[in-house]
Each structure stands twice: as C-alpha cells, then as structure tokens.
Amino acid sequence: MSKLKMARMDIKRSFSAKAGQPTLRIGLLLYPGCMPAGLFAFADLVYAANRRAGVRLFEVVFVAEQAGVVECAHGQSLAAGESIPGANLDAMLVPGFWAESSQQVSDELAINADLIAALAGLQKSVMMWSYCTGVCLLASTGRLNGQKATVTWWLADAMRQRYPKILWQNERTSIVNLRTATASGVNGYLPIAQALIEKYLSVEAYRDLTKLMVLPRPERTHHVFQSMNLIEQSDRLLRKLYAVAEQMPATEVTVHHLARELHISERTLARKVIAATGLSVANYVRRIKLNQASERLILTSVPASAISAELGFSSDSSMRRMFKDLTALTPAEYRQAFGRN
C-alpha cells in the first residue's frame, strides 16, 4: 500500500454492533479472478482479535454469487460456503482484481455484471467495504453515489469520469461512511480491520496485534508533508483536528471554527497545537489543506485550479502562492516531480 492515511476517529464511529447481536458476521467475497490474499489477511486479523478478546466478536464466511468453488487469481481455487442472496451478513468485504489499465477494469465490470447486481440487491443495512480495484465493483452498485470515496491512485481520473455522482477524494487512502468503506491499494483491508478492532477491543489491543503480527507500516510521503499523515499523530486532539480540518473548505478553517467543532476554547486549541507541533494553529491547518492539494496533484491529473476550488481556497492564485511558499515548487513543478500518472 502506498500511503496509509485515515481519519481514525471518524472510522471508529462508523462501525457499531447490532443490538442483541454481539458477533459481527462478515462476508469475504469471492469472484472469478479476485485477489484473495487480502481476504486471508483480514480473516487472520479478526481471528487474532477474537483470541485477544477471549470472545467471538467477529465471524467471517466466504461468499460468492453462488456457493461452490471459485477460480480466483493466480490459479487459486477457493470454496465459497454461502451465496450472496442466502447469506445473513452484517458486512461484506469486496477485494480487488488484477488490472493494469482502465480498459481492463471496464472489461471486468462487464464480465461481473451479474455479481454487481447481486451486490446491489443486498439489504441497505449490510455494510459494504471494498479496497483496491474492488472499489470499482462497489461503485457500480450505486451504493457510493452521493458519498465520499477513494480508489487506487491510477484509477482516480477514470473513476471520476465513470462515476461522477461519487464524491471522490483520491488524496485519501481510506474513507469510511456510515454504511460503506473504500480504501486504496492491495493492503486496503488493513485500515478497515484496524477500525473494527479498535472499536470492539481498544487501540492498545490493535497495537499489540500490530507488533505480534508485524503488520505493514505506511510509506513516507514527500518530506515537506511527512508529519502530516494522520496515522502518525500520537495526540488525540491532533487526530481530531486533522479530520475536522480536512472536511472544511480552506477559507473556513479558522481558529474560531475549529475550536467550536472540537468543543474547546480557542486559547486551549492554540496552546495545545503549538505544544505538539511547534506551529500555530493557522500554520498547521494550512499544511493540512496543502497536503490535500499535494496528494491530488500526485494522484490525479485534475487541474490545480480545480483542486483549489474543490478544497475551498479563496482563489487559485492564493493556493499556488501558499503551496510554493511551503514546498518551493509550483503545483505544476510538484506534479512533474512527484506525479504518478
């Protein structure tokens, strides 16, 4: 996975156990050509969480359009114990498939039209989580329309064009809404599993499992923004501040608005931020918004002027000036140096 950045507090609030049903039943989706490695890793994590808790918090079951043997990627034949229509699930995890171009993705979506219809037919109460190219399958069901979502970086532009009703935020590597979750990369199952474990056990329990299982660490970003990844924020207030600032238009990210959203005084917010970062609140949140801009410059071909408008800067020239002041590069130079397209 390229970079693991997630709004941990938002994610944790998005998962909740059903009343009267202590065990969360999660379907691990199998379909022809899917890459099952992440499903096994996810299953290992929730199994370890059950062991750590001493109770069965999670139950996983392999499901498919029809029960039976499914020919997955790399010659792997796996058995799905239940069909999608017959499974009694609380959540479904949709893995990715191997693809190297947007045309291959389009071909896979056409091939899997019946599977997409089956997924779309699930009850709205079933949470739908997807990662890597599996996000394309979930997008095709319509379940992401009107919601924020992310996808593997090289598909960002194609997905924006194909599914304009989805609020794509491809500078983020995972996004969790009330009933859906999307994550980029083949290790995108990890932030979903982390959120579940932290919700049902604790942050400390997940840290124990991280050490025990030697889980992958997030990759570093450009040095100017290295400290901005949310997962690196050890301070709870900074994590909450980061999540709130990301959702606000740049022109509205003021000390007054942030303090109100965080339910603390402006003086307390200013004191804690400078103590934790060495930066004023204004400088720190400016970096948060510019980090969002940098990710979009790296991951998409969206014009800088459009990025400025999407993130709520007062003007394109203002965003460009602040970006160059911080990075010593114009947005165009930055994209040329670090862009992945």
For residue range 155-190, what is the model confidence (pLDDT) as tens digits?
988 999 999 999 998 878 889 888 999 999 899 999
SS (HEC) of the chain? CCCCCCCHHHHHHHCCCECCECCEEEEEECCCCECCHHHHHHHHHHHHHHHHHCCCCEEEEEEECCCEEEECHHHCEEEECEECCCCCCCEEEECCECCCCHHHHHHHHHHCHHHHHHHHCCCCCCEEEEECCHHHHHHHCCCCCCCEECCCHHHHHHHHHHCCCCEECCCCCEEECCCEEEECCCCCHHHHHHHHHHHHCCHHHHHHHHHHHCCCCCCCCCHHHHHHCHHHCCCHHHHHHHHHHHHCCHHHCCHHHHHHHHCCCHHHHHHHHHHHHCCCHHHHHHHHHHHHHHHHHHHCCCCHHHHHHHCCCCCHHHHHHHHHHHHCCCHHHHHHHHCCC
Asked if 96 and 173 sit in the same domain, the reply is yes
Tell me: do 260 and 327 sit in the same domain: yes
Residue 166 lies in domain: 8-204
Domain of 136, CATH number, reads 3.40.50.880
Residues 190, 234 within the same domain: no
Same-domain check for residues 199 and 281? no
- Asked, for residue 260, whether it belongs to a domain, the answer is yes
Determine the pLDDT at residue 171.
Answer: 74
Q: What pLDDT does residue 4 have?
A: 36
Given this model, what pLDDT does residue 234 score?
A: 59
Residues of the chain with pLDDT under 50: 1-21, 218-220, 230-231
For residues 106 and 247, membership in a common domain is answered with no
The answer, as to whether pTM is greater than 0.85, is: no
What is the count of structural domains for the chain? 2
Instruction: Please give the pLDDT value at position 336.
Output: 86
Residue 299 lies in a domain: yes
Residue 235 has what pLDDT? 74
